[in-house]
Structure formats: structure tokens, C-alpha cells
Amino acid sequence: MTTLDRSLPENSRPGQGRWIAVAGGIWVLALYFLCRPYRGVRHDAQIYFGQAQYHLTPQWLSHDLFFLHGSQDRYTIFSYLFAPLLGAFGLVRAEVGTLLALHALFWAAAWYLASRMPSPMRWAALWRSSEAMSIAPDRVLTSEIIVRPRHSQ
């Protein structure tokens, strides 16, 4: 036993804090996703799914009135980006993968911005980000953010 080992209490060996942080992070992620179950394709996502499907199979949908006279697809890049994922993985896997990627980007950006703040403010900012996700996750993390910015009224 080294001098350093004798000076530390038995329950606080080097590296133990890292495992506690990892376990805490896994616990927070588990709770985060348990509170936000996958609810399927709904609202505007149905339109974006249809537009992505149109890019994959234009022969099936080219005579549909929605696509025949033009659609909102010319104002977004989402269906162009989502169509290859849809073709490769199917609807549910592509959508869940996209949602997980957007969640990861959101939290990475929140952590990056908060890491520049003093400690008390950092945790308050991360808590506020989490709260915003709880109140209106459909407004915070959906393809609509990428597709169409909201204008203040």
C-alpha cells in the first residue's frame, strides 16, 4: 500500500469517482429516455416521411395530388437527407436513429455551451435545457428545427 492509498478513505480510491460519474450518467440517460417513449410517426413527420418516400419511389407517388402540383419539399433538405436512411433501415429504425442523433447533438451542444460557465450556472443551464425538453420536446428536438425555423409572433 502506498502513502497515497493510506491517506485516502477506503471508499474513495483513485478512479472510483469516474465510475460513479459514469453510473450516474447512465442512470440519467435511462430516466431521460424512459420519460420520452417513442410514439411513432405523427404530426408533420407524416408529411416529411411521405416526401422522403417520394424520393425513394417517385413512380408510386408521382400522380398523388400532394406531389403532382408541388409540395413544401422544395423548402427543406430533410427529405433528401432522410430518404437514404429510410431506404436502408426502414421507417422505425431510421426515425429512431435520427431522433437519437438529434438528442445526442442537443446534449453535446448544451454541454459544450454550459462547460464555459462557472459551476453553479453550468448546472442551472443544463437543468433548464432538460426542463425545456420536458415541457415541449416536440418543439425542441424534431426535424422541424432543421426543416423550418419558427418565427416569433
Q: Is residue 19 part of a domain?
A: no
Q: Is residue 3 part of a domain?
A: no
Predicted structure pTM score = 0.64
Q: Is residue 13 part of a domain?
A: no
Q: Is residue 85 part of a domain?
A: yes
Q: Is residue 2 part of a domain?
A: no
Q: Is residue 105 part of a domain?
A: yes
Q: Is residue 26 part of a domain?
A: no
Maximum CA extent, the chain: 79
Over the stretch 105-152, which tens digit does the pLDDT of each residue have? Answer: 888 888 888 888 887 787 777 777 776 666 555 554 454 444 444 554
Range of the domain at 96: 41-147
68 to 54, 57, 59, 60, 76: CA distances (angstroms): 11, 14, 12, 12, 17
Q: Is residue 67 part of a domain?
A: yes
The number of distinct structural domains making up the chain is 1
